[in-house]
Every structure is written in structure tokens, then in C-alpha cells.
Structure 1
Amino acid sequence: MTPHDSKHWPRTLPRDIDVPPTNLCANLLVSAVRSPQRAVVVDDFGSLSYAALVEQMERIAAFLQHELAVRPGDRVLLYLPNGRGWIAAYFAILRINAVVVPVNPMNKRDELPHYLEDSEAVVAFCGADNVAELLAVPGAHRLRRVVIVGSPGPVEDLVEAAEPSSDAASGASRTIGLRRVLAAAGAPAAPLEHLPDALALILYSSGSTGVPKGCMHTHRTLNASTVAVAHWMGMVPHSVQLVALPYFHITGMQNLLNAPIYGGGTLVLMKRWDRDQAAALIARHRVSHWTAMPTMVIDFLASPRLAEYDLSSVRRIGGGGAGMPEAVCERLKQLTGLDFLEGYGLSETAHVSGNPAHAFKRQCLGMPLFGTDLRVVDPETLRELPPGEVGEIVMSGPQVFAGYWRNEQATRAALLEIDGRRFVRSGDLGRRDEDGYFFIVDRLKRMVNASGYKVWPAEVEAMLHEHPAIAEACVIAAHDPYRGETVKAVVVLREAHAGHVREADVIEWAKQKMAAYKYPRLVEFVRELPKSPTGKIAWRQLQDAERAKAAMASA
């Protein structure tokens, strides 16, 4: 199924678009030339113009290139929360054809080693609050420098955070504040070289085997998604995007950074989600676009203060990651007059489908975007299935990733060829209807979808097995009225600890070890876990039992 096959394709949009064969940072440079004084960022510290952001990007790029000897293809970590520092560093890394490796700032030190070791990063940008976590990681001493990003001070400035002065192991200073980087007077970075097929991003996706896999995207694949999203969502120079999703995630990176900057719009940044602050920002800055997770919308609509704010500027609300309940869609429509437009994509593919505003369908992934081919196939035979039949969703298009970083086996398992075209397997079971719209039915692979964050059970299980009292653990998805799903651990305690360790003890231990979205919110102790004839834990049996229990509770 391609855009050319859909009779509901928006009349205002072309069926095909051109993907610029450029470095991704060229989108920022072009918008800065067109509107140098327009605000690209608005946050708690004021506004930052396109021209000022480009100047910061160039200074950081020059420092990376000349002072830290970062070369094309070198990997650089971004381990910090959303902010103007994240944006400037992101484009600076791309500017010199190095590779961005975003890391969730919620990750704890025990979750960080794989990112450092697997990517072999040479430099890291780190939030001031996370410096201790990063420097405590074995292997962190191999980083040439850790650039600490603190809080912006005066308008269009970045204040250096308090930082450790030296590496206890080597005695050599390993940290520098971003303000000092920006103030460094050195030679400019080498002229921009456009290498569209060069690696631009390694985006780690939690692994079904317990080890995160690095999705490789080039400038070309990211530009394909960027241009598609900008066209589909109508992002133009005076668009204003509310940014309440993280940039380390593919949705935040494309919908809330790359696409708006390609369009020349403005980003209104939130430090953390707060429903009343979101409403106030929408009213104050005349926000036109809001990409959100369903949990955010549910919380937003529950605010008793919404009548105090003028929300009339919003002209598009959408998102994905989890299904939006019908009743919530209705309440949103009554409040704003807008429908919540759902879309679909993966870390491996960025965005592949979306709902047209004039002919949307609820609880629906929408139709394929520009140049994208979506199909439903039999998971075993790979035969394409007709409308109405359930199979695995597979996708092909210019935004599909180049493979997994240093993991050819996983790459071969994820990719397949149909009719001479390269497709990626989604692991999602779905169907398409007669109109060419796609719907998710279930998952082929184990995964918990907690508020749009993908949690792979094997990864959580691997960490739970480090607990001295745990003999065995199986992680499944449990129904949650707010998050959609939440993480549940079914645990067998070691004999010596039975009766001495409480469920709350395990949850608190996990909370200290794992990112907030990942640790189990529910723990159930059992004497033994069900096993298959070959001795494998029968996780699906536990998952089916949990779903049946949730269905009975809601009946």
C-alpha cells in the first residue's frame, strides 16, 4: 500500500516529495538565512534566534573538531534533557559529520555502560545533574572530554554548571562547561561537507534480548522523515510547536525538532510535563502544533483550569506510541474542535504513516506517508495478505534505517526483501481496511508500552536477576488506566529470602537501578514460573492470564 493507492490522500499535498541530499544541519542553516531573527527556541530563559543558534552550533562544532579532534564518523553522546544546549550540540555534531548518540537522561549508571562501550563514543555532552552518573561508569575515562550542560543564564547564553575538576584515576581534567566551549576563541570549523549517506545517528532501541540495539540512520534517512513530517503536518515559518516529548526519542527528534526547524518554525520548550503550564504556554505563545502521548492528553483534559486559557491557536494535535481512547478523543474534540491524529513509526523507520485531518479514523495508524510502502504479510510465509486479514506490518521507504550498529545478525532478522524492495519487519500484528488505512491488533514480539515508552521485558529481567533475593523473574505488561500499560514482574525468591523480602522492597530496589518508565510498578511473588517442555519460561501464559484478569475487572 503506497500513497498513490489512497483515494483519501489530502488534496493539498503532492503524492511525492524530494529529499534533499544534504547534511541534516543544512535545514537549520537555510531557515536561519531566511529568518535570522525569528525565535527558534522559547524557554524559561527567553528566546533564542535562528542566527544565535547557528552561531552556537558553529562554536561547538569548531571546538569538537579542533580541540577534541572529533572526526567524521566519530560518535558523540548526548546524555542530557531537552534544552537549547541539546539542540546546539545536536546540530554541531552533525555539522562536522560526526554521529549523534542520544541517551535517555533518566537512565542510571548501571544502564549506561552498553551505550559507551558499544558506540565507542569519544566525547559526551552531559546534563549537570547526570555528571556523577556518567563519570561513575566503567569506561567513562576513555571519553576525551565530558561537556557539562547547565542552565541557560542571560538570554542566548549558557551558564557553566558546577563540575568535578579532575578524574581521580588519571588526575587529568575530563570535564568542561558548555559556556567555556562557547567562549573559546579558535579557528572556525571546516566548511560543511554534504555526505547524505554518511551515518548521522545511532538511536538505541531497547533490545528484545536484553541488550539495546543501535538503529543507524543516515542524513538521507533522517531528511526523508523530516521533510515528510513537515509537509504532512503543515509546518511553516510561523508554526509554533509545543515541545513536551524527549528529543532522545525518534518522535521528539523528528516531530519536535527536525521538522519544525526545516519549516522555519518556533519551538516552545517545557522542562517537564505540567498540564497547566502547557495550557499557559499554548495561550501565551499562540502554539499551533502539539504532538503528545495519550497520557499527556488525558492529564491535560483532567485539569479544572482549562477554561482560563485561550487554546484557539492550536490547529493540529496528534501523536502515537499508544492507542488513544475513544472517550478522550471526544473530550478533546469538544474542547478544541480538533481530532487527535494518530501516526505510526519505529526507531528503525521514523514515521511511516499518518491520519489525514479531513478523513481520519480513530484508533488507527493512518495511511502510508510519502514514498512509503506499507504491507500486511503472513509472519511465516511473508505472503501479502488482503484487506481485513491480520498479519505482520512491514514497511519500506526512504526513511528506513541502514541497519543495527555492529549487529549484522539482528539486521538480517529485521530486514526482508519483497518484490525487489527492502522492507523492515515491525513485529506488530495489524490489518488494513479497504480504504488503505492500517490498524494494530496485537504484538508479535514481547514488549510493554508504558505511556508510549517501549520497554523490553528481557532487559528488565536481566537487571532484576542482579537482585540477591531473586531466583527467577518474568516481566509482562499489566493494564494501567493512565499509562495504558505498566511493567509487572512475576518473581520467584531464593529460598533463604522467602518471607523476608516484600514486593515494595523489590520495586524500590529496581527504582534505584532503572529509568523511571522502566522499573516494575507491580511485583507478584510466586513459588515457580510456568515453563515450556524445553525449560523456557512460558511468558505468554503469564501475559494471557494477566490480560484475562484485567478483562474480568473491567467487565
Structure 2
Amino acid sequence: MNTKHYPSWPDRLPKTLTVPGTTVYDNLLVSAKRYPDKVAVHYYGASYTYNDLFLEVEGLAGFLEHAFNVKKGDRVMLYMQNAPQYIISLYAILRVGAVVVPINPMNKKAELEFCINDCGIKAGIVGQEIYENVQGLLPSMIVAAYSDYLPDQPPFSNLPDEVVAPAKEHPEVAWSEALAASKIPSEYTGKRDDVAFLPYTSGTTGVPKGCVHTHYSYQANTFGAAHWINGANSMAHLAALPFFHVTGVIHSLLMPLTIGASIVILTRWNREHAAAMIERHQITNWVNISTMVVDFLANPHIHDYDIASLKSISGGGAALPEAVGERLHEWLGLQYFEGYGLTETISQTHFNPPHAPKLQCLGIPSFDVDSRVIDPVTLQELATGEVGEIVVNGPQVFQEYYNRPEETAEAFMELDGKQFFRTGDMGLMDEDGYFFMVDRIKRMINASGYNVWPSEVESHLYKHPDIQQACVIGIPDPARGENVKAFVILHPESEGKVTEEEIIAWAKEQMAAYKYPRLVEFRRSLPTTASGKILWRQLQEEEGERSRS
């Protein structure tokens, strides 16, 4: 067990936690019994208590079971933006013993169709603004209009169009219709080792992979996160990260509701709304991605708001620029502390200690996590300060990639008699036991905190009739961290007949907004090895040189 970080461990915390024997659904049940009249969710001026949530979860679960015949182990797609309905849907799916398949609301039809077929999704709960992307792909769907949960007169201006849009006519079951059916679900029999969630991670081979998680792995990080921040039910959390994302669902949804705190939901990021909500609801905690903090502090009107209630700002996905961290500390006296995790570990395996964070650092291993740095070729453990692949062993690590035994086997290794997950991230551990990212073994691009796998983007580009060859890389971007760029060779007969802009416009229709290439460069040839393999690193280095010149 690596214990080098123990001297940096918060004094008030034990170094080990017992993962509860209960389920994620049980967390809501307990909070609703403890705090029935306490506000659980604020939504653009509307408020909903724990009892409100519990009753609607029961009603929706009953509908799923009796109208859609959803049974234990069935996969149910959750495809919507942040809203009260997302929370109710998540718990309702778990209430009937089914498996939540959270899908990025930016995903388009082809991406959705793959996931539906890959894991055999039985039914879906969908936001109406993205319903057309999934129309005809599932036999049973509930469609939700976010405006159903708004107050009569929201105290905020310029709300997103999808938030204020009234419920529309469609051939599916409307959210209000499902709840009005007043169906009662069967007795709950969930166990902590039941499969509960199947989030998808984009694949290095161009094929997304479902990560099989039980209640146990989610509970490990839900309770770990609560203890790390000294969680209390008096806290108010700004839920600005999307709930489909592993960090958003753990830190902005499951953890706050487990400890009886309140969450304040943003359907879409808006720096003015964020500041106004911090002031209005006396928000104490905000977990985010660094690009949100950069935008938040760039607001010329930020000092018009009283945001002194904030006691903790943290995040991950991309390092916060040092200058921004210093500005945050000078203004609010707060240290930004970062964490590290993956879809396979359902958020954090590493945390920066709140009392001693290091900027642009992954942090130290979390509760009961054993993390090492190994040589990716020999698989031997490396010494302090040496760069290698980060591997982790802990209670939050997933079970397997759904129906992909070979890729599952490749993702794990044995060390000192324990099974470690190979993250594919190159890093080092310093003398204090803190981990730092250096590079990636996997070809992954981090665009505004979202993971983009170049091979997946390339597989979409090859479907374009004019494209003969494509290579995708990440290039530096001051706002997004990295941007997606594609080098494209056209078929000879297409040269001069299609433009880079047309390729980008086509790609935008085929892929989620964070995935499609924002830049396309036509080339007659690409650098390759003797065997014809494209040298993507050479292109990456060329772009790096270009950006520095």
C-alpha cells in the first residue's frame, strides 16, 4: 500500500472508510425520512423538498414498472440536461432495480443508436429539446419539459430557451402523464452489489465502452466526497456541472442529497445566473471545471454580487491556470483544490487536501485508494519523481467494460497481489505523495473538461463520402484547454469541390458539440511509419510549435 501521502492527510479525517451496505436509492429514502420538509432542490426560483422528490420518485418508478414493464437489471437511458426531472428519473430507475445509462445530452442520433444497441436499452427518459435525436430508436419513452418545474414568475432573466419552452405535443408519454398515472412500485429489494449505473466512456478504438458500476462503487465515492469536505446538511451546492458527467453526478447530485443538503440547479452554464444564485441561496460549495471559474471571474459585473457565502471551490478535468487560482485566493481567500478520476472510477481517486492543495496537481490518493506509478511496458513500479503510468486500486473502480472481456483484461494488472486499473495517464508522484499529470498514453483530448477520443472522431469522419483519410489531434485553446483539429485527405475527385467549413458543418451534425473538429486542415499527405500508420504525435508537435511561434 502506498502511504507516502499520509503526512499530508487532513488531521480530522480517518484514512479509511467503510462503504455502506445500503444502495444509492436508500440514500434518498433516508434523507426524505430525516428532512421531509427541508428544501432539496432549487430551480430558477422554484423549491422542492425532500418529500416532494420522494413522492415523485415513487410515482415515476411505479410507471416505469407497470406501464413500461421495466424490471431489475433492465437498462434505462437517462438523456436530458440538468433539471429536477433528472434527479427524479435517476432515483426512480434505481427504485425499480434497473440500471441507469446516463447519456451526454450533446450526443447525436448515431451516438445514441450505438449505445442503445450496445447494451440493449429498454426504455428512455428524455428532455424534450433533444427528443428528435432519439425519436424512433426506443419503443418506450417519457419526454420531459423542464418548464414544468419553473415557478410562475422566475426571478431570473434570460433563462435558456429549453428551460422556458412549454411542453410540446409528441407521440411519447409526457412526464406529467407518467406522474398522473399514480402507479405504485413493488417493494424495493435492491442490494449494494447490484449493477446500478452504466456510464459510457469513449473508446481508444473509436467505440464507446459501457463501464459497469454497482451501488457499492458509487457509494464509495459519494460518502468519500462527503467526508472529504466535512459535509453538513446546512450546505448549499451549485449544480453547474452536467449530471450525466461522473463528477457532476457524485459531487453535485448524489453527495449533497445524501447528507441532506440543498442543490441549486443550472440547466446551462451562465456566469450571471451562477453569481445571482450564489447570492440568493447563500451557496457554500461549488464543484466545477476550470473553464467555468475562468469565465466566472472574467465577468465585468462579478463584484456587483455578494458571493461571500462560498466556502469551497473545487474541480477537475483540466488544470486551473495558476494566475486564475491566485486571483481567486486574493479575492475570496479560497484555495482552488483539484481532484482526479475517470468514468471507470466514477469520479475521484485522488483529491487535493483542502488544507494543503497544490495547483495544477491531481492530489493525493483518496480513502482506501492505493495508487502507484509504473513503467507501462515492464509494469514495474517506479520510484518517486519518475514518470510512468498511473494505476489505481480502490473501492470505486468499475467491475468491467460491458460485454468487452478483452478490453477489460487489458485495463487491469496485478501488483503486490492486488488488481490495479491502468488509467492510461502518464504522471509522477512527488516527495509528498502528491500526483501530477505529465502526458497520456491514450490519445485523449480534454476539451472544456470533456474527454474526446481522436479515434472516435476519426471513425465518424470516415463516414463522409469525400474523406479518404483523417487524423485528429488536440491543439491548445485558451478558453477550452484543448480544441479538436482534424487533418483530412480528400478523395482525388473531391478536391476543390468541398471546403473545410463544409466538413466542419457536417461533423457538427454527426457528433456532440464538444467532439466535432472546430478546425479542419486539408492535406495531400500525412506523416506515416513504414507500415503506413499515421504519426499523430508528429502532427501534434507541429501544432505545438506553431502555437508557440
From 493, 497, 501, the equivalent of 1:504 is: 501
Name which of 444, 459, 484 aligns with 1:447: 444
Structure 1 position 5, deviation (Å): 4.9
The equivalent of 1:96 in structure 2 is: 96
The residue that corresponds to 1:17 in the other structure is 17
Structure 2 counterpart of 1:393: 390
1:348 to 317, 331, 344: 344
| Cα distance in structure 1, aligned partners of 2:10 and 2:469 | 52
Q: What are the superposed Cα offsets for residues 355-408 of structure 1, whole Å, 9 maximum, x if unpaired?
A: 111111111111111111111011111111111000000000000000100111
The yes-or-no answer on 1:421 pairing with 2:381 is: no
2:197 counterpart of 1:208: no
User: Match of 2:24, SS?
Assistant: coil
1:168 aligns with: none
Corresponding residue of 1:163: 169
Q: Deviations over 1:303-347 (max 9, x none)?
A: 111111111110100100011111111111122110110000000
Q: Tell me the amino acid that sits aligned with residue 22 of structure 1.
A: T
- Identify the residue that residue 435 of structure 1 maps to in structure 2: 432
Q: Which residue of 2 aligns with 1:119?
A: 119
Deviations 1:248-273 (A, max 9, x none): 11011111111111111111001211
Alignment correspondent of 2:130:
130
Shift of 1:82: 1.0
Residue type at the aligned position of 1:453: Y
SS at match of 2:186: coil
Conserved 8 A contact 1:45-1:152: no
The structural deviation recorded for 1:151 is 2.1
Amino acid at match of 1:352: T
Secondary structure at 2:7 match in 1: coil
2:57 aligned with 1:60, yes or no? no
Corresponding residue for residue 240 of structure 2: 244
Q: Tell me which residue corresponds to 2:400.
A: 403
For 1:155 and 1:296, the matched residues in 2 are separated by 24
Q: For the residues of structure 2 that align with 1:306 and 1:507, how far apart are their CA atoms?
A: 35
Stretches of structure 2 that go unaligned for 5 or more consecutive residues are: 153-162
Does 2:338 correspond to 1:332?
no
CA-atom RMSD, angstroms? 1.6
Using structure 1 for the length normalisation, give the TM-score: 0.94
Residues 160, 178 of structure 1: 8 Å contact kept: no
Task: Please give the secondary structure, in 1, of the residue aligned with 2:267.
Answer: coil
Tell me which moved more, 145-154 or 355-364. 145-154
2:3, 2:304 → 1: CA distance?
Answer: 41
Once the two structures are overlaid, the 10-residue window that deviates more, 418-427 or 540-549, is 540-549
For the residues of structure 1 that align with 2:429 and 2:365, how far apart are their CA atoms?
A: 11
Give 1:172's aligned residue. Answer: none
Q: Is 1:217 paired with 2:223?
A: no
User: How far apart are the structure 1 equivalents of 2:15 and 2:146?
Assistant: 43
Does residue 276 of structure 1 match 2:272? yes
Aligned position for 1:474 = 471
The 5 Å alignment of 1:296-375 reads 296-350=292-346, 351-375=348-372
For residues 13-33 of structure 1, give each alpha carbon's deviation from its aligned partner in whole angstroms, at most 9, with x where no partner exists: 111112111121111111111
The 1-side partners of 2:100 and 2:169 are apart by 23
Matched residue type, 1:403: E
Q: CA deviation at 1:549?
A: 2.1
Question: Is contact 1:364-1:439 (8 Å) kept?
Answer: yes
Cα distance in 2, alignment partners of residues 160 and 99 from structure 1: 29
Q: Residue type matched to 1:468 in 2?
A: P
Cα deviation per residue 1:157-210 (whole Å; 9 max; x = unaligned)? Answer: 999832323xxxxxxxxx101111111133x21222131111000000011111
Q: Distance in 1 between matches of 2:283 and 2:3?
A: 29
Three-state SS of the structure 2 residue aligned to 1:77 is strand
Q: Are the equivalent residues in 2 in contact too, given 1:210–1:459 (CA < 8 A)?
A: yes
Gaps of at least 5 residues in structure 1 are: 166-174
Cα distance per residue 1:383-437 (max 9 Å; x no partner): 1111100000000000000010011111001111111211100100000011110
**8 Å Cα contact 1:4-1:15 kept in structure 2:** no
SS at match of 1:114: helix
CA contact (8 A) 2:44 2:150 kept: no
Distance 1:110 1:193 in 2: 35
Q: In the alignment, what sits opposite 2:146?
A: 151
Cα distance 1:66–1:45, how it changes in 2: closer, same or farther (>3 A)? Answer: farther
Whole-angstrom distance in 2 between the partners of 1:231 and 1:32: 20
Q: Percentage identity across aligned positions?
A: 46
Aligned amino acid, residue 47 of structure 1: S
Checking the alignment, whether the CA contact within 8 Å between 1:448 and 1:487 is kept in structure 2 is: yes
Report SS of the residue matched to 1:474: strand
- What's the CA shift for 1:76? 0.1
Q: Helix, strand or coil for the counterpart of 1:348?
A: helix
Q: Deviations over 1:130-174 (max 9, x none)?
A: 2221014xxx2xx34110011243669999832323xxxxxxxxx
**What amino acid is aligned across from residue 146 of structure 2 in structure 1?**
S
What is the aligned partner in structure 2 of residue 36 from structure 1?
36
Whichever residue aligns with residue 214 of structure 1, its letter is: G
Q: 1:160 to 1:124 in 2, by over 3 A?
A: farther
Q: Which residue of 2 aligns with 1:169?
A: none
Instruction: Give the TM-score taking structure 2 as reference length.
Output: 0.95
Q: Match of 1:495?
A: 492
- Identify the residue that residue 170 of structure 1 maps to in structure 2: none
**Aligned-partner Cα distance in 2 for 1:59–1:2:** 47
What is the distance in 2 between the residues matched to 1:87 and 1:453? 21
Q: Cα distance 1:178–1:360, how it changes in 2: closer, same or farther (>3 A)?
A: same
1:505-545 Cα shifts (integer Å, max 9, x gaps): 11111112111111101111111111111111111221122
